[in-house]
Amino acid sequence: MFLIPKVFLFTPPFTQLNTPYPATAYLKGFLNTKNIDCAQADLGIEVILSIFSKSGLKHLFSLESGVEKTDNSLRIHSLQEEYIQTIDIAIEFLQGKCPNFAYQIAGRRFLPEASRFKHVEDLQWAFGTLGHQDKAKYIATLYLEDIADYIKECIDEHFGFSRYAERLGRCAHSFDELCEALHQKPTYIDEILFEQIARHLNTQKPDLVCISVPFPGNVYSAFRAAQYIKQYDSSIRIAMGGGFANTELRSLSDARVFEFFDFITLDDGEAPLIHILEYLAAKRPIDLLKRTFVLINNEVQYINNSLEPDYKQNQLGTPFYADLPLNRYISAVEIINPMHKLWSDGRWNKLTMAHGCYWGKCTFCDISLDYIQRYEPLTAAYLCDQVEQIIAETNERSFHFVDEAAPPSLMKAFALELIKRRINISWWTNIRFEKSFTEDLCYLLKYSGCIAVSGGLEVASDRLLSLIEKESV
């Protein structure tokens, strides 16, 4: 029993390099409203920064590859001293810490080059004569990708910048293949992950570790992390939640999963987490948990007997980003396209305008899922309060609203509130293309600081639209 369980939240490798994934920040912001002691970490950026450092590359190049090297890997290996001597500057440049190195990097005589540079696009056309910063970011990104290719070819085939061992995560519903991999010797990435976890466990000394798993590319690392934590201290309880559990683990029945985790929660994490904390503090019996899988008498049981409702959106507090290593994220330019660049370049505070999706009618979408079906928008005033609080905490005025489809009426109200309060921010979001986006609304959004929108087209043919019984917009 714990009087007040201490919580440590983390996102396992890998999601994004340029900005934190928001799930732990949302949970920490919520736990702050309850005065519950809690720390958070993004192990993805920590592992990447450990590999892509002078000491990390020295270690990498000293490893026996175990496979025959390709010409590309031989080239990179033979240039290892150039990589080791330049990596810290390249990373600091991508962290925005030494912008004047753009001239040297863009001049293409500073960083070593391998196969990623073979088909480099027309840089003069893309960046002109003044776009040194972006050009240098693009070149430094290719340089990192060359090193990533070396890791994949020689050391660890599962490696990727935004995912790790994704294929194993994609077949996790059967668990056999993943389980087998977890009983193999730890990989190169695993060992680096363990070092980072040990550092946090030593300083945080948590009673409960919550691992947020958004995508299949985080699943293997989540299990490896849980396995390590159980060996480190078997009294630490471990919970898993997030997008992957919400979509792929709804029919979980394999008891082996509970060799790694004590709790697996579905859908919004706040209420299930409070229920788990009350259970660990012996203030709630196990059969009154909320949307949580547990193992009882060696049987997987889904417990959802609590009558307490979920928290309303305006009871969740404001996502808390300030204790994440905000000045250490890496801005990469992977594609020469101004819109796509936003996904990997720059640090964005992530927020949502609403719970759920107002659109709710894409044919390919499982709209029965709670995080889509239960539409609950915030008010413009509440959103602006959150924006002001996050600016005060992070000193960062860039926002990405990560709604699946931001509601146009709320975007309009939000823009008007920003203008009324004279809040200067840059923001962008994801939308569905629909009639509500009039020319006037677009001008208003732009005036409020909206720099871009991204949107998916479900279908671009009138014939198919009528077949799925939807009018064209």
The residues of the shown chain that bind ligand SF4, judged by CB under 6 A, are: 357, 359-362, 365, 367, 372, 404-405, 432
Q: Which is nearer to ligand SF4, 12 or 407 (CB)?
A: 407
Q: Are 435 and 383 in contact (CB under 8 A)?
A: no
* Cis previous bond, 14, omega within 30: yes
Name the minimum Å distance from CB 46 to ligand SF4. 31
169-173 contacts at long range (C-beta below 8 A, 24 or more positions apart): 169/215, 169/216, 169/217, 169/218, 169/219, 169/220, 169/244, 170/216, 172/216, 172/219, 172/244, 172/248, 172/249, 173/248, 173/249, 173/251
Both structure tokens of 234: 């078997």
Q: Which is nearer to ligand SF4, 419 or 464 (CB)?
A: 464
Q: Which is nearer to ligand SF4, 165 or 351 (CB)?
A: 351
- Measured distance CA(239)–CA(262) in Å, rounded: 6
Name the minimum Å distance from CB 401 to ligand SF4. 13
Name the minimum Å distance from CB 268 to ligand SF4. 15
**Angle between helix 188-204 and 43-51 (nearest 10):** 120
The closest alpha carbon to 261, from 227, 288, 230, 238, belongs to 238
Q: Which is nearer to ligand SF4, 122 or 366 (CB)?
A: 366
- Measured distance CA(114)–CA(83) in Å, rounded: 11
Beta strands, E only, 372-438: 376-377, 398-401, 426-431
Name the minimum Å distance from CB 459 to ligand SF4. 12
DSSP letter at 363 equals T
Q: Which is nearer to ligand SF4, 404 or 417 (CB)?
A: 404
The closest alpha carbon to 419, from 403, 438, 443, belongs to 443
Name the minimum Å distance from CB 352 to ligand SF4. 12
Q: Which is nearer to ligand SF4, 99 or 360 (CB)?
A: 360
Name the minimum Å distance from CB 430 to ligand SF4. 8
C-alpha to C-alpha distances, 347 to 78, 254, 414, nearest whole angstrom? 34, 39, 21
- Measured distance CA(159)–CA(461) in Å, rounded: 39
Residue type, 71: D
Q: Which is nearer to ligand SF4, 280 or 411 (CB)?
A: 411
Q: Which is nearer to ligand SF4, 264 or 354 (CB)?
A: 354
Coil, helix or strand for 300? Answer: strand
Name the minimum Å distance from CB 353 to ligand SF4. 13
Name the minimum Å distance from CB 457 to ligand SF4. 11
Backbone angles phi, psi at 187, to 5 degrees: -80, 175
Q: Which is nearer to ligand SF4, 102 or 245 (CB)?
A: 245
Name the minimum Å distance from CB 372 to ligand SF4. 5
The closest alpha carbon to 52, from 126, 119, 150, 166, belongs to 150
Name the minimum Å distance from CB 221 to ligand SF4. 26
The closest alpha carbon to 212, from 200, 199, 226, belongs to 226
Q: Which is nearer to ligand SF4, 391 or 402 (CB)?
A: 402
Q: Is 58 left (phi over 0), alpha (psi -120 to 50) or beta?
A: alpha
